Each structure stands twice: as structure tokens, then as C-alpha cells.
Amino acid sequence: MGFRMPKPERKTITLDDPEGLRLHAGWSRSGARLGLAIWRQAPQRDYHQVELRPEQVEELIQFLSETLASDPGDR
């Protein structure tokens, strides 16, 4: 059996937009992958989920950091 990260140590975030979409991100039990899920809150439909490997998470972090540092017109 592989290592499992205790639930209190697993980090998650949930973001809601004004139009009723929800994004939830959380690390897997092993801490090896970041799961992303997006769906419309009411009525709940169009649920989609992906898992990112650590190197993909790093690429996403780099993308967000670089684009946030640029002018909005350059994004």
C-alpha cells in the first residue's frame, strides 16, 4: 500500500464565479496529483474533472505568475 497524505494536511481551494460556476482543486490522497473539478452550481450539471501531474502544476504556476506580472492588455 502506498503512502497516503493525512486529510487535514491536504490542501484544497474552491472558487466561485458570479455566473454560478465552481472550480475546486485538491491534492490526491498520495499528494502525487492535483485534481481539478468544475461544474455549474445550480442546477448542478456539466461536471468535468482532470488530474495534473506535479510538472503540470509547476507549468500552471509559471504561466499564472508570468501572466499576472504582465500588463492586462498583454495577457
**Region class of 63: left (phi > 0), else alpha (psi between -120 and 50), else beta:** alpha
The pTM of the full predicted model, rounded to 2 decimals, is 0.73
Residue 26, domain member (yes or no): yes
Q: Which domain holds residue 51?
A: 7-70
Q: What are the pLDDT tens digits along the chain (75 aa)?
A: 455 555 666 789 999 999 889 999 999 988 899 999 999 887 767 889 999 999 999 999 999 999 999 988 888
Residue 75, domain member (yes or no): no
pLDDT computed for residue 1 by the predictor? 46
- CA-CA distance, 63 to 55, in Å (whole number)? 12
Residue 35, domain member (yes or no): yes
Residue 49, domain member (yes or no): yes
Q: For the chain, how many structural domains are there in total?
A: 1
Residue 2, domain member (yes or no): no
